[in-house]
């Protein structure tokens, strides 16, 4: 693992998160272009590109390597795979958490920062993936566009689906730290928490949800939706939820927002302190919420508003994690507004009877860190002449 060195920014480090990393995991730290006092570029893949490349090549030259896997975003770190392959002949793969090439509203404005980023993606992705040996993603829809845009990949690249899961031990380790919630304290309200970023293609979904809340104030009279860490990035914590809530007249009554990112262990603490968890998705069918597994580990029921084709729907149903309100796309969002109060009332009745012990984390095994690691290990087995039997331990995969 190659990581960027933040030692110059002590306040940016999450030391509790660092405590969750097993001692058996080797971490390599490298430098990066600074963002202070002048921020020329913010993307960590760009700022740390050259130092990461140098360190990867040094490790290969000194110790050897069988495979290079790059997880994106940051998307601008992805070309490291192709460059290392050209220089050292190491096979490489790219793991997509989100599509690299796609059009979002901000990217339609010519010569804007988002427009330039999209154009660079359209230019860099074909070159980057041309010689890739492995393409993985949180769902098939996440990387299907890559194969469509680069049809020659289909006949030779290995693919695998690895939903973003989580480590069950994180929850118990977080409890041992004795952390307490600090973003809400109203014990009289039914507190439902959303923890995660806000993104462009999900705005329409959230707008339809807020419209349903505003039209039915009696249903949500004692409900508080808390949105945590919704800023565009750690360096851009401007409110994203508040403007939508203000437009519907429900800000600071039903809806509250803390746009600043908080540490991972603090997120788990707030999820556990809530009465329920809220998850909503974009109008794109490929979207799979990465926060689903950590929400399940909180032991709280989940109320989800998702595209009916999202793989998260099957997970929630099969594991008995909560209630779903599904839709088929943009044209179906008025249905969300209409059905929201009825769906939420049913959910609250369900939440009162919810028994976390009845869920059983074994049913979530395919989406656990252990299960996801097994999928990756099996995919990597294609690149070794004599693959050994794969054994996935609590913290280590060996083959």
* Residue 151: φ, ψ to 5°: -60, -25
- The pLDDT of residue 360 is 65
* Average pLDDT over every residue of 198-224: 95
Q: Which of 25, 272, 275, 103 is nearest to 172 (CA)?
A: 272
Write the CB contacts of 340 (distance below 8 Å, at least 6 apart in sequence): 208, 209, 212, 213, 216, 305, 325
Residue 310's pLDDT is 87
Confidence of residue 34 (pLDDT cuts 50, 70, 90): confident
Q: Residues with Cβ < 8 Å from 357, sequence gap 6 or more?
A: none
CB 245 within 8 A of CB 210: yes
Average pLDDT along the chain:
86
Output the CATH code of domain 168-358.
3.40.50.2000
Give the mean model confidence (pLDDT) for residues 116-134. 95
This prediction has a pTM of 0.74
Cα(137)–Cα(140) distance, rounded to whole angstroms? Answer: 7
Pick the CATH number of 2-166+368-398 from 3.40.50, 1.10.287, 2.70.98, 1.10.3470: 3.40.50
Q: What are 343-360's pLDDT values in tens digits? A: 999 999 999 999 888 776
- Give span(s): CATH 3.40.50.2000, the chain: 168-358
Highest mean pLDDT among 101-115, 220-234, 285-299, 365-379: 220-234
| Three-state DSSP string of 178-235 | CCCCCCCCCCCCEEEEEECCCCHHHHHHHHHHHHHHHCCCCCCCCEEEEEECCCCECC
CA angle 309, 312, 314 (to 5 degrees): 75
Specify the DSSP class assigned to residue 251.
B
pLDDT, one tens digit per residue, over 287-336 is 666 678 888 888 899 999 999 988 789 888 888 899 999 999 899 999 99
Max intra-chain CA distance, the chain: 67
């Amino acid at each position: 693992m190659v990581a960027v060195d933040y030692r110059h920014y002590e306040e940016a480090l999450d030391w509790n998160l660092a405590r969750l990393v097993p001692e058996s995991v080797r971490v390599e730290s490298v430098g990066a272009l600074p963002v202070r006092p002048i921020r020329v570029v913010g993307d960590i893949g760009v700022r740390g590109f050259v130092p990461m490349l140098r360190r990867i090549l040094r490790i290969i030259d000194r110790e050897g390597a069988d495979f290079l896997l790059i997880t994106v975003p940051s998307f601008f770190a992805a070309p490291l795979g192709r460059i290392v392959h050209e220089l050292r002949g190491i096979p490489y793969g790219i793991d997509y958490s989100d599509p690299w090439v796609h059009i979002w509203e901000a990217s339609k404005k010519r010569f804007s920062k988002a427009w330039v980023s999209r154009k660079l993606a359209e230019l860099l992705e074909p070159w980057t993936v041309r010689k890739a040996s492995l393409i993985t993603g949180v769902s098939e829809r996440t990387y299907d566009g890559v194969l469509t845009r680069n049809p020659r990949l289909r006949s030779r690249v290995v693919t695998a689906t690895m939903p973003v899961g989580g480590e069950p031990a994180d929850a118990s380790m977080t409890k041992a730290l004795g952390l307490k919630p600090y973003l809400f304290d109203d014990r009289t309200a039914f507190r439902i928490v959303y923890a995660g970023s806000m993104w462009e293609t999900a705005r329409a979904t959230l707008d339809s949800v807020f419209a349903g809340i505003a039209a039915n104030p009696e249903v949500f009279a004692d409900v508080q939706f808390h949105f945590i860490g919704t800023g565009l990035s750690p360096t851009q914590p401007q409110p994203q939820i508040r403007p939508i809530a203000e437009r519907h007249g429900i800000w600071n009554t039903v809806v509250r927002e803390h746009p600043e990112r908080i540490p991972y262990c603090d997120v788990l603490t707030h999820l556990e302190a809530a009465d329920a968890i809220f998850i909503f998705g974009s109008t794109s069918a490929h979207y799979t919420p990465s926060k689903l597994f950590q929400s399940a580990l909180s032991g709280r029921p989940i109320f989800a508003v998702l595209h009916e084709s999202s793989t998260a729907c099957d997970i929630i149903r099969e594991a008995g994690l909560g209630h779903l309100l599904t839709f088929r796309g943009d044209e179906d969002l008025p249905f969300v507004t209409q059905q929201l109060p009825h769906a939420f009332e049913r959910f609250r009745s369900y939440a009162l009877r919810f028994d976390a012990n009845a869920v059983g984390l074994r049913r979530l095994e395919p989406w656990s860190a252990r299960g996801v690691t097994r999928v990756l290990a099996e995919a990597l087995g294609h690149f070794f002449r004599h693959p050994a039997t794969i054994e996935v331990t609590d913290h280590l995969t060996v083959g």
